[in-house]
Amino acid sequence: MLHFVLLSQVLVSAAFPTLDDTVPCDLSKVTISGGNYNFNEEDNAVEYSCPSGKYPYPGPTRKCLKGNVWEKQNIKAVCKDVRCPVPMGFENGEYDPKNTTYIVGDVLQFECWGGFELRGSKQRTCKENGKWSGKTTICEDYGGFCLNPGVPPGTSKDSSSYSIGDKVKYTCNSGLSMLGSNERECTEDKSWTGSEPSCRAWYTYDTAEEVADMFSSTLSATAEVADPDRNPFAFEKRKIKIKKGDPMNIFIILDASKSVGAEHFKTAKESTITLIEKISSFDTSPRYAVISYASKDIKIVRLSDDESFDPAEVIEKLTDFKYDDHKDKGTNTRGALKAVHEMLVLQELRDQENFMKTRNVIVLMTDGKHNMGGDPQVELTRIKNLLDIGQKDGVLHRDDYLDVYVFGLGRGIDVNDVNDLASKKNGEVHAYLLNKIDTMKNAFDSMIDETDAMDMCGLNKDIPEKYLNRQDFTPQKLKETIIEKFPWIAKIIITRRGIQEICKGSIVAKNFILTAAHCFHFEENVDLINVDVGDKKGLKVKDFYRHPLYKPEGKQDKHIRKSFDYDFALLELKEKLEFSATTRPICIPCTKSSSWALRKKGDDTKCKEHEDILFKEELVKALFVAEEPNKNMEQKDVTIKMGAARDNCLQDARKLKEFENVTDIRDMVTDQFLCAGGTKPLVEPVTCKGDSGGPLIIEYKKRYIQVGVISWGTVNHCDKRGNRITTTTLPNHARDFHINVFPMLSWIKSVVKEDLVYLKDV
C-alpha cells in the first residue's frame, strides 16, 4: 500500500511597495543592481529577484530588524551569473575546457583514457537553473564488482575500490550543499546503496520538466505494482468500494503556517488536487487522508473515513477547507508526521494481516525549516519502525515499502534538512528544490499529460507458491489464479489435418501476439491457427507476419541443416483484446511503457540504457513459463549467460552430432541468440517442444520484461507428450537458445504501429 504525505510550505511576497507607513525600513537602501525586489510583510523582509540565468548576491532576502534598520550586509546586492559546479573530481579521462567557473551556456566535452569506456553524457551544457544537462559522465574499465558510481560535478570521492562491501564517501566543493547520499556501499547484486549525490549552490533549483520526469517515473512504477487489478477511477461523486487488503494509503498534508499566506495556500491546494487526479489515473486503489497543519494539525479527511476511498469526495473536502481555519501560524512539521503515524497505528490495529503489505510514500513539500514541535526526523523514524524498515544482518529490510520525497519550496531552503528527510535509493531522485510553488503544479500537470498515453505492461498477480498449494482451492479456482500470475502468456494451437501442434507466445499489444517463426509452415493458412489468452479460447487470427530474414534452409552451404536465425513471428488477431486481471501485455524493451517499468522515463532515454539495465551481469536471472500436458502453467527459473559465460554455450552447442561438420559454430549460434540452461553452478530446467515461441522474461521490481523468444535447444529431455523427464540426469551440455528481442525491435516497430510507443532510437 502506498502512503503519500504532501506538505506545502512556501514564502509569500506582497506587491511591489511604495515607501509608506507599512514599510518600517527605508527601501532606498536595499536596491539590487540588475534586478528587482518585493517587500514581504509576513517576514518583514525584502525578497530579491533576477533575470533568468542570474541570481541575487549575497543572498535572496534582507530582513528589516527592530528599530527599523536593515540587517547588516557589507556588499551591495547585485545580480550575478548563475554558475554550474566544477567537475574537479572527474576520473580516468579529460574534460574541456578546464575553467575555474562555468556560466549558463558553457559546454563541457568529456573524453576517456585508453582502456576506459564512456558512460553517461559525452557533452554537457550549463543550464539556467545551475545544473548541467545530461547525466553524470563516467569512464569505466569494468574492473570492479560494482560499476564505478561516478563523481558528479561539484563532488569529490574518497575511494576507487568497488568490491562487495566497499564504501565510497562523497564531499561537496566549498560553498555547495548535498542532495543524495554522502556514502554508498557496493552490494551483492552489483548495485550501490543510496542515491547519486548532487552538490548544489543555494540558488540551484529543479524545473517543472525535471520534476515531472524524475518524480512521476518512480511514483508511477510504485503505484502500478501496488495493485495491478484496479481500473482508473471515473472522476465523479460516487462511493468506491475497495476490497480488503487495499494496497495504497495516500496522506496529503498541507502547510498552512504564517510563511505560506492565503494565496499560496490556495495554489498548494490546486497542486494537490492535480496530484490526486494524477494518482487516480494509475491502475490502483488508494485510500486518502488529508491533513493541514500550522502550529496544530487539522484532519480534513481521516484514513478511516468512508470518503477516504473516493478521490472526488476528497477533492471536494479539500476545496472547501480554508486557510483561515488555522488560528495559530507556527510550523510544526513533526506534529503533521505524528498525525500520519497515529493513523498508521490505527490501521495496523484494524487490519494487522494486510498492514505490512502496504506500500508507503511520503511526499513532503517544505522549505526544510520548522520552528516548533521538535525534529520531524524523529517522527519519520517512528514511521519506519512501525513499518519494520531498517538494517537487518547488514541488509536493508523492506526498503521498497517506504519512499520519502521532499520538495523544497521557496527562498531560504534548508538543503540539509530537506536531504536528511528524503529517501536515498539507487537510480532514483527523492529530493527536489523548487524556486516557486507554480513549479509544483506545472510538474503535476505534465505528469498527467504524459500518463494518459501510458499502457501498463508487465503486471501480474504476485502469488507465492505456498498460496497456490492451498487445500481449499478447487482445480478451477487454481487455474484461474495461475492465469492471473501469467496473464501475458498466449497458447497457440495450429491444427493441420486433425493433428494439433502447440506453441506459446506473448501478448505485446491488444491485437498482436509475439511468437517463434518455426512454429508455422511457410504459406500457413491463418484459419488453421487459434489462440488462447487468459480465460478467452479459440481467438481467430487475421494475419501472420514472419521476419523476412527467417530462412531455415539458408545456411546449408555451411552444413547447417536448419537455421533458426530471425526465428521471430507476430500474429495479428481479428479482434482486439480487452485487458483485465487475466489478460495483460508483457513489457517489450525500448518502448515508453517499459521505460516506466524500468524507471527510466524521459524523452532522452536510449534503448541502450534498457539493455544495460536488463543485461548488467554475466549471469542474468530470467524465467520462462512452462505448461506440461494436463498441468497448470509453472514458472521455470534460468540464467542468461552473457560475456565469457556465453562462450561455454557455444562449446556445448558444438557437441551436437549434427554440427560436427560446421566450421564455425557462431554461424549457428549467432549474436542474436541468448543462451540459458546448463548444469553449473546449478542444474537449470530446459524447454520442451510446446514451449517454443514463449517469452524469456526478466523480472525488474515486480514488472516483467520480455527479452527473448524461445527458439531451440541442444537436448530434448522431454517425453513424446511434452513432459519433462525426471528419471534420468540432464546432460551437461543441455542448453536453450532464445532470439534476443533487442535486435528485432525495428521489425516489431514496422508491424506493431499503434499500441506501442517506441523510444526515439528504435
669-679 pLDDT tens trace: 999 999 999 88
CB-based contacts of 503: which residues, under 8 Å, 6+ apart? 492, 494, 515, 516, 519, 690, 692, 693, 694
Predicted confidence at residue 480, as pLDDT, reads 76
Cis upstream peptide for 232 (omega within 30°): no
Count other C-beta atoms under 10 Å from residue 307's C-beta: 17
Torsion angle (degrees, nearest 10) of CA 57, 63, 67, 72: -30
Residue ranges, the chain, pLDDT below 50: 1-21, 230-246, 283, 448-454
Element (H, E) at 118: strand 117-119
Known catalytic residues are: 518, 567, 692
Predicted confidence at residue 274, as pLDDT, reads 78
Predicted confidence at residue 749, as pLDDT, reads 96
Helix 208-226 / helix 262-280 crossing angle, nearest 10 deg:
40
51: cell is 533575470
- In one letter, which amino acid is 479? K
Domains and CATH numbers, the chain: 27-81 (2.10.70.10), 86-198 (2.10.70.10), 214-451 (3.40.50.410), 465-751 (2.40.10.120)
Exposed / middle / buried, residue 165 (Cβ in 10 Å: 0-12, 13-18, 19+):
exposed
Instruction: Check: CB of residue 2 under 8 Å from CB of residue 247.
Output: yes
Predicted confidence at residue 239, as pLDDT, reads 23
Contacts of the segment 299-307: beta carbons below 8 A, 24+ positions apart: 299/339, 302/343, 303/249, 303/251, 303/343, 303/346, 303/347, 304/343, 304/346, 304/347, 304/350, 306/239
539-582 pLDDT, tens digit per residue, is: 999 999 999 999 999 999 999 999 999 999 999 999 999 888 78
61: cell is 532576502
